[in-house]
């Protein structure tokens, strides 16, 4: 089991599917979705996924809000043939992707960095339960900022694949299904993404750790 899975909300059930690869496997829904219940159970999961996909500069509250708006709007489409978590995961992925795609326009039109973190609330939320130490929090924030600084510079399609593979621990098929590209293309993108990441990582090391 990868460390990613240990740290993430992915259940340690060893399931290879994307549906099972994410938080607590909810019961297969057969009745109309109760948004309040789903929110109570999975809001944190959505926030984690959003932070994973978007990085530390994303306004997680906005993303969670947007995701559950989609849930409200499309709850009637829920067929109950998959886990709610799978559905939420896909919605979160698409909402973050769309938000990032609109980032340039938002930056241009408002002068505000897209989805900038709200500060204290998010910082506190980032504090792992088992790390109440402020120094640890600071180191974690720095490492996270450096990581996403590297990932943000390699191109969106490569960034997506490497986050899903390395951080989320998804399989090739799951990435292909989620992103809508072929398995071969996933592999190619992952290969190139790794090259780009290493190149940027080495540059970052030279800059930050002389």
Partner 1 sequence: MSANRTREDASNFDAVERWLSRPAGGREAEDRFAALLRDAGPPGPLSAVARARVWSRLRRRPTSRAGIARLRWSVALSVLLTSGVVLGALSARKWWPGNATRTAPESTPAKPHAARGVRGVARPALQPVPTTNDSPPVGEPVPAAAPPAPPGDEPVPETAPPAPPVHAIAPRHTSPARDVTIAKAEPEERAAVREPEAIAPPHFESARRAPVAPSAPPASPASALPGETPLLSGALMQLRQKRDAGAALAALDEYRARYPNGTLKREAESARIDALLLLGRNAEALAELRDLTPQPGGRGQELRLIRGELTAASDCKGAFVDFDRILNEQAAAALVERALHGRAACRLRLGDEPGAIRDLTEYLRRFPAGRFAAEARRALEARSEDL
Contacting residues toward partner 1, per CB under 8 A: 2-4, 7-9, 35-36, 39, 43-44, 47-48, 51-52, 60-62, 64-66, 68-69, 72, 99, 102, 106, 109, 121-122, 124-129, 139-140, 143-144, 146-147, 165-167, 169, 171-173, 182-184, 186-187, 190, 194, 197-198, 201-202, 205
Name the minimum Å distance from CB 106 to partner 1: 8
CB of 202 to partner 1, least distance (A): 6
11 vs 172, which CB is nearer to partner 1?
172
Q: How far apart are CA 30 and CA 20, in angstroms?
A: 18
CA distance 23 to 201: 30
Q: In whole angstroms, how close is the CB of 172 to partner 1 at the nearest point?
A: 4
Q: Three-state DSSP class for 88?
A: helix
* CB closer to partner 1, 17 vs 171: 171
Whole-number minimum distance, CB 122 to partner 1, in Å?
A: 7
14-21: list long-range contacts, CB under 8 Å, 24+ apart.
16/171, 17/174, 18/86, 18/89, 18/170, 18/171, 18/174, 18/177, 18/178, 19/82, 19/83, 19/85, 19/86, 20/83, 21/168, 21/169, 21/170, 21/174
Tell me the two tokens of residue 145: 């900022």
Q: How far is the CB of 90 from partner 1 (least distance, A)?
A: 18
For partner 1, the closer CB: 28 or 155:
155
Residues 59/112, Cβ–Cβ less than 8 Å: no
Alpha carbons 32 and 12: distance in angstroms, whole number? 28
Q: Which is nearer to partner 1, 15 or 139 (CB)?
A: 139
By beta-carbon proximity to partner 1, the closer residue of 28 and 191 is: 191
């Amino acid at each position: 089991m990868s460390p990613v899975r240990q740290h993430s909300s992915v259940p340690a059930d060893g399931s290879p599917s994307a549906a099972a690869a994410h938080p607590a496997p909810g019961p297969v829904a057969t009745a109309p979705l109760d948004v309040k219940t789903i929110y109570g159970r999975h809001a944190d999961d959505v926030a984690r996924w959003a932070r994973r996909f978007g990085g530390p500069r994303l306004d997680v509250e906005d993303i969670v809000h947007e995701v559950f708006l989609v849930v409200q709007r499309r709850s009637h489409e829920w067929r109950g043939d998959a886990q709610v978590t799978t559905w939420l995961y896909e919605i979160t992925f698409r909402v973050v992707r769309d938000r990032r795609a609109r980032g340039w326009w938002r930056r241009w039109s408002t002068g505000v960095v897209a989805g900038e973190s709200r500060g204290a609330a998010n910082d506190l939320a980032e504090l792992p339960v088992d790390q109440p130490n402020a120094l640890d929090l600071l180191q974690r924030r720095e490492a996270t900022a450096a990581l996403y600084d590297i990932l943000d510079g390699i191109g969106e399609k490569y960034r997506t694949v490497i986050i899903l593979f390395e951080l989320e621990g998804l399989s090739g098929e799951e990435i292909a299904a989620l992103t809508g590209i072929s398995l071969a293309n996933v592999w190619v993108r992952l290969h190139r993404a790794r090259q780009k990441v290493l190149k940027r990582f080495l540059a970052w090391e030279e800059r930050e750790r002389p």
